[in-house]
Chains A and B, each alone.
Chain A
């Protein structure tokens, strides 16, 4: 079945002259529509868009299927990810239907570019959420004889379709490479080796997933790692951006609203951090702080801001209703403080509890006991190296958020509604958080979307320089760094994770652009 799809794709691809002509004609038509207004009218405009669509689809097919292995990989990837695409389609359709009721989010659907951006972002979010449900390998799972998979393959150079064809017809070539894939499986049954080429078969067809994009140097499936990688990249970049925004919002609101010496000091510190070379900052936090307390000290400071912001908000709302405030705090504070101290100083120490839980629920099985103990010990706690990176990234992007919020606050603080709230005698925290903040949310959201993308790039840089994240982590930056040595044999090892970063950032940038445009329409 798969083979037929690939051969079909190949036949479509072999008509590349047709698709190229179509695409060229469509582009010419749209170019001339500037000069000749008649071309913008009905029959011509439909022809143009039809030719544009068909030509683009055709050329993409050419690009993918000119090499049968790449074609096979594409088909497999679509097959494996179909639940993700299904959920994505459902989300997009539902949002489209209710777009008029969804405020700013709904208005994104008025722009095709915005929809593309949103689609890409949703794709990665859904893929990250569903990664465990898909028939993938684990991110650290090495393919070997022992887990029922057979990995074959000698490192072979990835060849362009044109070069490999070498006088054969396309169908012959496809048949050959399909047979080749099967033959390798038998030939190298007893031999495991890293760096299997694109689309190598693993086990009998249908049993387990083939290594769609080959394996990396440690024989882990690259495709599975890419999807699992979204689980590292997305939470880290979104989380770090959110935390840096809470820092920026808390300090920026106060500095902008109150001004004075506080403003001067914080602005000075923010400028000093911004003037400092980012790379050195990372080296200092990540290398020096690895076992030391530097990242913990920073975490203590940075993670305090979300807490302070919520407390200030509660104080602003309920400063006159003390009973209610105390009621909320009794519930909120223990949980918040628990999370806060778990992720800064690792307190309270749960190892005693872990030992008890292991003996109580382990049932005498030492492997199970060990797993329970580890799960309890690490409960609600970020892995130390993850914490390093989180703190480093949040710390370096907080000054930017601070400057933005401070500027916006200065802009807004003399408006009538602020003055009105002041004359009403509202608490100043109430004014900052419930009057000023909601009114600057537009630019903040745009900046947040851009900054998440920037953070993803930064994480990639960290992985690329082998800083911080656990060395075997499946994040895309580390994968680029690991695959870089094999660039000449197996370019997909480094190139495809790189394209993942690009796609995520592109999605976020398109989204931010649309959000900016739509919020300007107000």
Chain B
């Protein structure tokens, strides 16, 4: 019996490290690459020419997307969690929907709507009698600001989701206490509710920052050159993977420092929820200008981020319906869906493993596993793909050589030529999301509950199963859905690592989008959105029933 316990514990210590090793193997591979020599001096060249501008653009992009996402997400999360106003029950789930649309699709849709020959400017010209482009001023969408706006519209739901959860979990009586002590609503919000949500804000914003850092498609479409541009230029055109890896590593380093600083600054904060009336029971009823303000802000955000792009896609899909409806479309949908299901399930297991490790054996090591397992999210997809290829092709070559030397026949690219590598690459990219949502929901569960359970004779695993799991059920479902949706949208790793004749909806969409033929891509793009929405709505129903 004792032996069994020990081996379990050892396994439990080994497992998180094994998982982390798998997830950072591509990044290690890139790091090793970045230390090899660079005979052409590509890095020096970049440093002398464009690196400063690229870095500045990257910094502005990330800060911009973080700020704007916060401005979008924070008020609406507060409205739907803590206030009562018409259409609140619709908005509370509808505001998450923009997650289902790939950002590059939103970018194309908005460019089509807002550029010179788009409907808006045509209308303006018709009404005002302007003729040429020089006759009037219209803000250019293909700029850094355009990229910030579109990425924020696409990414704010991460923060919204976590913030809403945090606000909902907060005890409303704390806020009421602040009010009764004479604080204005705004002050009570600023001094009580916001600090209590700091962990959610930090996780949400770091997910958003990572996604913006790794984005290439949207930024490239808006003709904004960032460090990711430098990564691709040096690798693909100057032929120096070394320099590309070096820039990627520097980007990661900056990110790790940023996140660690944030973590360090709230190292002494511990926020747990006890009972007491929640905001659910004490929602403020908004009326007058407050009601109209909340309604206008929430609905404009929803229309801009979801309804308008969706309608535009529907319009394109209908006008090119017969041309884009093919029998193969269903196969691609099926491929996308089951791949996303596998990835979402595995990502959840990974997240539970590293997060509970951190809870059971807290310390620097545990913290490090969490950080490391999340890094892949910030690396551009194609770079992740190459990073994953490096160790797994080596593994394949080694295995084959071993087999051949011992008189067996080879097994070809067993790992790197199959869907296996694709699943690994997806996990490298998206585990961060699952880890983040489990992290933030587990952070709300007071350890005193664990201690109570342990003192009543339950062991660690029974405690996890009987105490922690029920309390973080919501976080687990959120993790699954978010990873599922991300996997449905994922393009660059799928494009490069898929086996022959394996098409996902996203890679199929890309065939047309890469030639700016959005009309033909609209129907499969709509399918991506729909497939993301279905599980989303089901889970939301389940959650509503359970509360």
Are A and B part of the same complex? no
**A residues in contact (CB < 8 Å) with B:** none
